[in-house]
Chain A
């Protein structure tokens, strides 16, 4: 029996009560199906508001359960998906459809290695969750998943994206290259080199994590100095990390000029190196 028919049979049991016309193709085409396994007294129910048919495995007979959870369910391109994952896909799609995200993806397309594009797509969704109060609870798990999948490069891109480096540094850098080199292909090649160094080495950026010690932070700052760059930006979120940054900045005070922006739970510090090749006045950087 095809799956539609199996579902129709179950819906027929409740159709007089909920006035659902199971022979109406419009109703059936717009029907959502949700499967649960909970203790209540219902086996099949219908929510007209969400047009959802709820099937409770706990109260369905063995035969009905076997018919519902059969390979037929996966015919005609249907998939079984956990409700929370469906919500994530819907949020992701809606975020990705926004003109802002489309603009950023259009910029990245064909300028970065193709394998990096999905990391940025995930990172842009991470940033959206970070900036959306109701989705804040997802930030740490999504960041963890990006790092699990893509390692250090994933971590760097997630941090850079959330801190706004795409809009504030990568896009302006490319525009400047295009303006200077006048040849778009050449600009893309040069940008590719800058991009690769930027996301792999984080040459002028440090993101302080909870596992980074003060000593490691100090070493990271001095490592950036060896690159010959003019300054390093330090980002930290959370009271413990903010204190860590403050302590290290005080420690190396003699070697630097710095400006900082301290908010309640995060800190941004830019340390200017006085004696590197690229050292410039703050206004020039």
Chain B
């Protein structure tokens, strides 16, 4: 099976919800469902907005951002 399981924009909110994340609708940032003050960071340390959410990988749970630098880093990790 392909290592990459894709999802469409339509499934974004459901996926985040399943991994116990929510969106702070005032700020647009992704936060923990049980702690709305805890903003989720990308592996590069950037606060992650819902619109910039690209995906999830393990380690423990890593939330990927959709900007080009994050995708280049992810591409490098996937090729290792």
Do A and B interact with each other, yes or no?
yes
List B contacts of A82 (CB < 8 A): 6-9, 12, 53-55, 66
List B contacts of A7 (CB < 8 A): 1
Contact of B11 among A36, A74, A88, A118 (CB under 8 A): A36
Q: Which residues of chain A (147-193) have a CB below 8 Å from chain B?
A: 148-150
Q: Nearest chain-B residue to A53 (Cβ)?
A: B1
C-alpha gap A4/B15 in the complex (Å): 18
List A contacts of B75 (CB < 8 A): 89, 92-93
Given A89-B75, A142-B68: A73 touches B5 (CB 8 Å cut-off): yes
Are B10's CB and A85's CB within 8 A?
no
Q: Nearest chain-A residue to B53 (Cβ)?
A: A82
Contact of B18 among A65, A125, A146 (CB under 8 A): A65
Q: Nearest chain-B residue to A90 (Cβ)?
A: B75
Q: Nearest chain-B residue to A87 (Cβ)?
A: B6
Contact of B15 among A28, A69, A126 (CB under 8 A): A69
Q: Answer yes or no: A31 CB below 8 A from chain B CBs.
A: yes
List B contacts of A88 (CB < 8 A): 68, 71
C-alpha gap A82/B51 in the complex (Å): 11
Are B69's CB and A80's CB within 8 A?
no
Are A81's CB and B5's CB within 8 A?
yes
Contact of B3 among A28, A34, A78, A122 (CB under 8 A): A78
Residue-wise, chain A 57-93 has the 8 Å CB interface mask toward B (1 for contact) of 1000000011001110111111111111110110011
Compute the total of residue contacts between A and B using a CB distance below 8 Å.
Answer: 139
Size bracket of the A interface: 35 or more
Given A85-B71, A92-B75: A33 touches B55 (CB 8 Å cut-off): no
Residue-wise, chain B 44-80 has the 8 Å CB interface mask toward A (1 for contact) of 1000000001111110010010111101111100100
Q: Which residues of chain A (1-59) have a CB below 8 Å from chain B?
A: 4, 7, 28-38, 57
Given A79-B4, A145-B68: A37 touches B11 (CB 8 Å cut-off): yes
Are B6's CB and A32's CB within 8 A?
yes
C-alpha gap A118/B74 in the complex (Å): 12
Expressed in whole angstroms, the minimum distance between the Cβ of A144 and any Cβ of chain B is: 9
Are B18's CB and A85's CB within 8 A?
no
Q: Nearest chain-B residue to A7 (Cβ)?
A: B1
Q: Nearest chain-B residue to A27 (Cβ)?
A: B1
Q: Which 10 residue pairs across A and B have the least CB separation, nearest first?
A: A69-B18, A81-B55, A79-B57, A145-B67, A35-B7, A74-B58, A37-B11, A85-B54, A37-B10, A83-B6
Which residues of A pack against B, CB within 8 Å? 4, 7, 28-38, 57, 65-66, 69-71, 73-86, 88-89, 92-93, 118, 121-122, 125-126, 142, 145-146, 148-150
* Listed A/B pairs (6) with beta-carbon separation below 8 Å: A35-B15, A38-B10, A66-B18, A74-B56, A86-B6, A122-B68
